[in-house]
Structure 1
Amino acid sequence: MFLDQIVKQKRQEVSLLTKKLTVRHQEKALQLPPCRPFAESLFRRQGQPALIAEVKPASPSKGVIRESVNPVTTASSYETGGASAVSVLTDELFFNGKLDYLTQIKDAVTVPVLRKDFILDSVQLIQSRLCGADAVLLIVAMLEKEKLRALSEEARELGMDVLIEIHQESELAAALEANPDVLGINNRNLFTFETDLKVTETLFPLIPHGIPVIGESGVGSLKDWQRLSRVGVDGILVGEFLMRQGSPEAGVKQLVAGGTGCTEPF
C-alpha cells in the first residue's frame, strides 16, 4: 500500500535526520526572520480563489510529469502569473522533488512557500524552517491525533503556518482539534489515487467559518477549476495541470482570471 511505503521511507529519513540535527539547529530555526504569511495570502480576488501553484516533477500515479524541471524558473513564472503562494514537493523517492528546491525557490520568489512532503516528526519541521518553508503540510491520515496536534503546535512555535489535510468527514474532528491555520480538502484518495471533486463539494459545508479552506488535487482543466471555485473555497492547489503547460505563467494567468484566455500543453 502506498501510504505504508511512504511511512516506511519517511521513518528512515527521520532516523538519519535525527542524527544530523542538534539543539543548535533548533535554536537557529527559532531565531530566523518571520515567515511570510501563508494563511493570510489565501483570499478570493474578483470572485476567484487564490492559486497555490505547485512545483511537482512527478507523482506515483502519473509518473514523470515534466522532464528537466527548473524549479526556480517554474516558481518565478507562477508568481509572475499571479499565484498567491508556491507549493514545493520535496519528496525525492516518489515525486522526484528535492529539499534544495525549497531553498532555491524561497530565495527566488516573494510569495509564501509551502513545503509539501510527508511529515511524521518534529525534526522534519526544524529542517523545513531552516530550508525556507513558510508553511508545512500535515496529513491527518498519516498521523495519530495527539501527534498531529503536537506537530501543529511545534510548527507554529517555529513560526510556520500549518496546512492540515483531510480526505473524508471522519478526519475532520482531528483536523479541527489541531487548530489548522489552513484546512485542505484532498480530492485524491491516497489509498487508491482516484480523484473526485465531489470530496470538496461534500466536506466544505461542514467546515466552520473563519478557517481558510483550500481544495487540493483533481484540477485537470479549466472546468475543474471553475467547479471548485463555485464551491466557495478560499484557494485551490494545482500542480500537474500547470506543470504540463508550455508556459506555466500563462497557465496561472488563465486560472486566476477564471478561465479566460488559453494556453497549450507542451
Structure 2
Amino acid sequence: MAVSSQVDIADTQHTTQNTQHTTHNTKHTTQNPQPTTHNTKPTTHNTQHTTHNTQHTTDYKMNILDHIVADKRKEVDFKKLIIPVSQLEQSVFFERATVSLVNKLQHSSSGIIAEHKRRSPSKSVINQNLNVFDVAKGYEDAGVCGISVLTDGKYFGGSLDDLLLARASCQLPLLRKEFIIDTYQILEAKAYGADVILLIAAILSKEEIKQFSELAKSLNLDVLLEIHDEEELHKSVMPSLDMIGVNNRNLKTFEVSLDTSKHLSTLIPNDFIKVSESGISNIEAIKALQPYGYQGFLIGENFMKTENAGESASTFIKDLLKY
C-alpha cells in the first residue's frame, strides 16, 4: 500500500507542477521570461517518477515469494475445509507404488526432467495451448527421466487436475512443482499421483524441511530440495532428502547464471543427486554442468514455448546423446 500511495502522491505533485507551468506560460505571453530554466523542473520530476517506477519493479521482484506464500497459506486453509485429510487418504493413488526419480536419474544418459508450465511471474505466458495429457505422453516417448508438473494456479496457471492428467497419460515419475508450506500439500501430492515433491529452502525453516521431508519419505515420495545459495544449503542438508536442486535464477533480480550451479556443486554432499534448474536451454549448458556432478537437469520453458513440447524434447535428447 505504501508504494501505491507514493505513486499517487507523485502524480498529484506532477499535476500541480503542470498547473504552475501553464500559469507561467500565460505570463510569458506578456513578460517574455526565460523559459529554459523553468522547463528543467518537469524534466527533473519525470526522472524521479521513472526512478520510482524502477524501484517499484525491483521491490515486486524481491517480494514475489512473500506474495506467493501468503496466497498459498490462504489457499491451503480453504482446501482443508473443502477436502479433509481423511478424504485424501481414500484416493486410489494413496496405495499406489511410486516410481523413483532418483533411480531414473542414476541410470540415465540424459538426466532430463521435462516440465509442464503454462506461465510464470518472470516470463508471463509461455504456452497455454498445449494439453497436459499430450505433453506428458510426448515427454515419455521422448525418453525423459521424469516430468515436473506445476500445480500453482494463480502465478503459474497450473492445477492438481494437471497432475491427474499427467498421471493418466504416462508411467514416468511425476514431480509436483508447488510452493509447499503445509503437510496437507504433501498428502495432496500423494493422493493425486505424484512420485516426488519439491521443497523450497527459501520459504521454509530447517524444522519445516525436516518435518515435510520425513512425511514424504513415509509416503514413499522422493524429495527434491531447491536451494539458491550457500546459506540455504547449509541449513537444509539432512538424511531425509534425496536430491538437491540448484536454482540458477536469482530471486531478487530474476537473472539466470549457471555459475550458481557450478559454485554450489562443491558444497553439496555426494550422498545426494545433484539437479540443476532454470536457464538450461541448450546442450552446451548440460555438458558444462556434467563435470560438476550434476545428473539431473530440469527444463521447462525451452520445450513448452514450442508448438510440440514432446517433439522438442525428443530432438533435444537425441542431439544431446550424439554430442
Same fold judged by TM-score > 0.5? Answer: yes
Q: Is the 8 A contact 1:21 1:123 kept in 2?
A: no
Deviation at 1:220?
2.3
SS in 2 for 1:93: coil
Identical residues among aligned pairs (%): 36
Q: Give the counterpart of 2:186 among 99, 121, 125.
A: 125
- Between structure 1 and structure 2, the one with the greater Rg is 2
Q: Distance in 1 between matches of 2:239 and 2:251?
A: 21
Compare relative contact order (CA 8 Å, sep 6+) and give the higher one, 1 or 2.
Answer: 1
Structure 1: stretches of 5+ with no match in the other structure? 262-266
Equivalent in the alignment of 1:11: 73
The change in CA–CA distance for 1:160 and 1:204 in structure 2 (over 3 A counts) is same
Q: How many residues are matched?
A: 259
Structure with bigger helix share is 2
- 1:76 equivalent to 2:144? Answer no
Is 1:155 aligned with 2:180?
no
Any idea what the Cα deviations from partners look like across 1:206-231, whole Å, max 9, x if unmatched? 11113111100111233323323343
What is the match of residue 264 of structure 1?
Answer: none
Tell me whether 1:193 sits opposite 2:254 in the alignment.
Answer: yes
- Which range moves more in the overlay, 221-230 or 100-109? 221-230
- 1:164 is paired with a residue whose SS is strand
How far does residue 258 in structure 1 lie from its aligned partner after superposition? 4.7
Letter in 1 for 2:235: A
- Alpha carbons 1:42, 1:50 under 8 Å: kept: yes
TM-score (norm 2): 0.75
Give the structure-1-normalised TM-score: 0.91
Runs of 4+ in 1 over 4 A off after TM superposition: none
CA distance in 2, matches of 1:184, 1:35: 20
Show the counterpart of 2:227.
166
C-alpha deviation, 1:28, in angstroms: 3.1
Gaps of at least 5 residues in structure 2 are: 1-62
Q: Deviations over 1:60-81 (max 9, x none)?
A: 1111101312001011111101
> Is this contact kept in 1: 2:85–2:187, CA < 8 A?
no
Q: Deviations over 1:52-108 (max 9, x none)?
A: 000011111111101312001011111101101000001111111111000110111
Aligned to 2:160: 99
Q: Report the CA distance between 1:245 and its aligned residue.
A: 2.6
Shift of 1:178: 5.8
Q: 1:170-212: CA deviations, max 9, x gaps?
A: 1112221263111111111223211111010111121111311
Kindly state the Cα deviation for residue 26 of structure 1 after the two structures are TM-superposed: 5.4
Question: Which amino acid letter does the alignment assign opposite residue 301 of structure 2?
Answer: E
Q: Residue 163 of structure 2 contacts residue 194 of structure 2 at CA under 8 Å; is this kept in 1? A: yes
- Structure 2: how far apart are the matches of 1:260 and 1:87? 22
Please tell me the residue identity of whatever aligns with 2:243.
Answer: V
